[in-house]
Amino acid sequence: MTSLFAQEIRLSRRHEEIVSQRLMLLQQMNNRFGEQNMEKISQMQAAETAYKRNLSLLNDIEAAEKSLQTRIHPLPQPEVRSLETHYWASVEEYIPKWEQFLLGKAPCPVGFENQNEAENTIKNETQL
């Protein structure tokens, strides 16, 4: 009987040790989980800060690029704009004639008579 009683005491102590180790491990796991959450929050904050910084840098680079483009390629002078406007007006005027020619429904729009007409048009435009 005493041996059963001694075995019961030994098992009870061993049970207390196991329960104590379990509680200690649970506390360590809980602490580690809290640390991981804090690390995750810290990483998310660092990532958000880096994103904002990168976005700001990108905006600064784009602004600098626009500034440099403006310096390198200034807006065309009024004479150039006028020539461009006349050119595109001429293109729009001749599109239907060339379209008919390319479809095979009309003769070539640039002939001897049309060349003289085009030269006169150019002379008249340059006098403006």
Give the residue extent of every domain in the chain: 1-74, 76-128
Q: What percent of the chain has pLDDT over 70?
A: 84
Rounded Cα distance between 125 and 87, Å, is 10
In contact, 117 and 125? CB cutoff 8 Å: no
In this prediction, residue 108 has a pLDDT band, given cuts at 50, 70 and 90, of confident
Cβ–Cβ under 8 Å, residues 120 and 109: no
At 112, is the pLDDT very low, low, confident or very high (cuts 50, 70, 90)? Answer: very low
Q: What pLDDT is attached to residue 128? A: 57
The whole-number average pLDDT for the span 75-96 is 86
* pLDDT for residue 117 is more than 80: no
pLDDT at 94 over 90: no
> CA–CA separation, 62 vs 54, rounded Å?
12
Average pLDDT over residues 113-120: 57
What digits encode the pLDDT tens for the residues 9-33? 999 999 999 999 999 999 999 999 9
Measured between its terminal Cα atoms, the distance across the chain in Å is 128
Of 10-14, 39-43, 116-120, give the lowest mean pLDDT range.
Answer: 116-120
Judge residue 110's burial from the number of C-beta atoms within 10 Å of its C-beta, 0-12 exposed, 13-18 middle, 19 or more buried: middle
Q: Is the pLDDT of residue 78 over 90?
A: no
